[in-house]
């Protein structure tokens, strides 16, 4: 294994490591504040009370939404636990010397039950666990207490401090920079092993989360929109997508083509006659009234039959064996055959197809071994041209969009590659203000 492979593998693994979120940062800040407060209250490091810090960790919320409601309910949970602990401390301290310790533990378990039930009774079920924890923070030290009331009040003070600190810290938003002016381009071949496979639930979740947070993520696929919806039918993208390897821009939400780079009618006819004249079996992908129509010429070969049988629910099942309609726009021609035959055919056609208005791309069929595909596009139907047009389509006139290509150097290889790629997008899209914005410096 070469060094570049080791570095590449390290980068892919590192890309799957979750970033440090606001809740983690806020929790550590709250713990620090609690420890500093305890220091000024006279605690030494060796005898430092941890109840305030524990409570701060427990009380910290995932988001700042509903902070006031959470503050009231969690403070109520703290008081419930503290109140029951005071009630139980007095009998525990008095009966401990005269009964078995197991009986005292049974009373503590009863106190936990009452703490939880009280929270539920007052419709504060979300704080039931906190009430029980507060109760347990105070009562287990009953064996060493000389003044139960003073000790319980001291513990209550610790817990109230932790609760208030958590509420205050949680109420502060750690500013993050959301780059709404970034336009991310991602190829779908980097998100899954092949177009036969649906994206994994974790990839769908991460991608949906990026869209919901306002990230502009444009997916680029080599295939028709039907394949895109087949792979990610649970994702509702907020912006259009580049399809057919740059031959068109499609809005899945409205199910319309916003832009396309088809052949001119006479050019499409010339290419069709050339392929027919060679006795080839091929597909013609056209757009008619915002619908993708697929026509087939020639006799289906063995490789096409394999693809057809595997896909079943794709455009191959709906292709038409007839001449294309005159008003249709031909966006590309597609030939499916064995990898060996496609290689020979590419060499032959490269000298026959007019170079001034055609471009040819050969791809291996990722899902079927030994099968390849040859695509013939209009010379202007490229991803780069589609990107330029895409920016003009979604430009709002106020923000200058910054296009960013996020891809894997050698495409999808490992199971965590897609997560690695989406984490790269997430880290560029949303950053702490304290971090430098390196992208704009490049």
Topology, domain 178-261+383-441: Rossmann fold (3.40.50)
Q: Which helix (H) or strand (E) holds 372?
A: strand 371-378
Instruction: Return left, alpha or beta for 255; rule: phi > 0 is left, psi -120 to 50 is alpha, else beta.
Output: left
For 205-219, 227-241, 283-297, which range has the lowest pLDDT when averaged over its residues? 227-241
Q: What is the pLDDT of residues 317-343, one digit of tens each?
A: 456 666 665 557 899 999 999 999 999
Query: What are the domain boundaries of the chain?
Result: 22-171, 178-261+383-441, 265-378
Confidence (pLDDT) at 258:
94
Confidence (pLDDT) at 120:
92
Q: What is the pLDDT of residues 167-209, one digit of tens each?
A: 788 777 666 678 888 999 999 888 887 766 778 888 888 898 8
Confidence (pLDDT) at 234:
67
pLDDT band, residue 153 (cuts 50/70/90): confident
- Asked if residue 119 lies in contact with residue 127, where contact means CB atoms within 8 angstroms, the answer is yes
Confidence (pLDDT) at 316:
47
Q: Residue 302 corresponds to which tokens in the numbers above?
A: 């063995």
- Asked if residue 425 lies in contact with residue 419, where contact means CB atoms within 8 angstroms, the answer is no
Instruction: Return left, alpha or beta for 370; rule: phi > 0 is left, psi -120 to 50 is alpha, else beta.
Output: left
Q: pTM score, two decimals?
A: 0.67
Confidence (pLDDT) at 197:
72
Average pLDDT over residues 303-312: 74
Q: Which CATH class is domain 265-378?
A: alpha beta
Confidence (pLDDT) at 442:
39
HEC per residue, 78-96: HHHHHHHHHHHHHHHHHHH
User: Alpha-carbon distance 16 to 3, whole Å?
Assistant: 20
């Amino acid at each position: 294994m070469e060094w570049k492979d080791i570095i590449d593998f390290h980068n892919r693994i590192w890309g799957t490591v979750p970033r440090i979120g606001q809740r983690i940062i806020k929790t550590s800040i709250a713990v620090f504040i609690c420890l500093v407060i305890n220091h000024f209250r006279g605690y030494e490091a060796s005898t430092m009370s941890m109840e305030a810090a524990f409570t701060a960790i427990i009380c910290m919320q995932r988001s700042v939404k509903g902070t006031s409601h959470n503050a009231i309910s969690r403070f109520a949970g703290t008081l419930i636990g503290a109140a029951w602990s005071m009630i139980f401390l007095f009998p525990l301290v008095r009966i401990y010397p005269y009964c078995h310790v197991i009986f005292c533990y049974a009373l503590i378990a009863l106190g936990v039950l009452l703490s939880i039930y009280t929270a539920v009774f007052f419709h504060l079920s979300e704080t039931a666990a906190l009430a029980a924890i507060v109760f347990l923070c105070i009562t287990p030290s009953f064996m060493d207490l000389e003044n139960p009331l003073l000790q319980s009040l001291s513990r209550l003070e610790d817990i109230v401090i932790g609760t208030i600190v958590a509420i205050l810290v949680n109420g502060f938003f750690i500013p993050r920079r959301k780059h709404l002016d970034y336009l991310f381009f991602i190829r779908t071949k980097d998100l899954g092993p092949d177009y036969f496979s649906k994206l994994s639930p974790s990839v769908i979740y991460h991608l949906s989360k990026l869209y919901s947070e306002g990230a502009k993520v444009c997916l680029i696929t080599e295939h028709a929109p039907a394949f895109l919806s087949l792979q990610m039918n649970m994702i509702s993208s907020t912006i259009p997508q580049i399809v057919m390897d740059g031959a068109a821009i499609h809005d899945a939400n409205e199910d319309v083509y916003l832009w396309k780079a088809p052949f001119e009618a006479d050019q499409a006819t010339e290419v069709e006659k050339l392929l027919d004249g060679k006795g080839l079996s091929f597909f013609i992908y056209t757009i008619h009234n915002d619908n993708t129509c697929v026509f087939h010429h020639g006799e289906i070969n063995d490789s096409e039959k394999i693809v057809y049988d595997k896909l079943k629910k794709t455009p191959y099942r709906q292709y038409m064996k007839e001449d294309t309609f005159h008003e249709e726009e031909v966006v590309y021609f597609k030939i499916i055959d064995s990898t060996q035959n496609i290689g020979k055919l590419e060499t032959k056609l490269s000298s026959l197809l007019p170079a001034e208005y055609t471009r040819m791309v050969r791809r291996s069929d990722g899902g079927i071994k030994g099968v390849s595909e040859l695509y013939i596009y209009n010379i202007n139907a490229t991803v780069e041209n589609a990107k330029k047009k895409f920016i003009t389509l979604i430009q709002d006139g106020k923000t200058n969009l910054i296009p960013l290509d996020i891809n894997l150097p050698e495409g999808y290889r490992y199971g965590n590659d897609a997560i690695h790629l989406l984490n790269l997008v997430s880290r560029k899209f949303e950053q702490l203000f304290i971090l430098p914005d390196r992208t704009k410096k490049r």
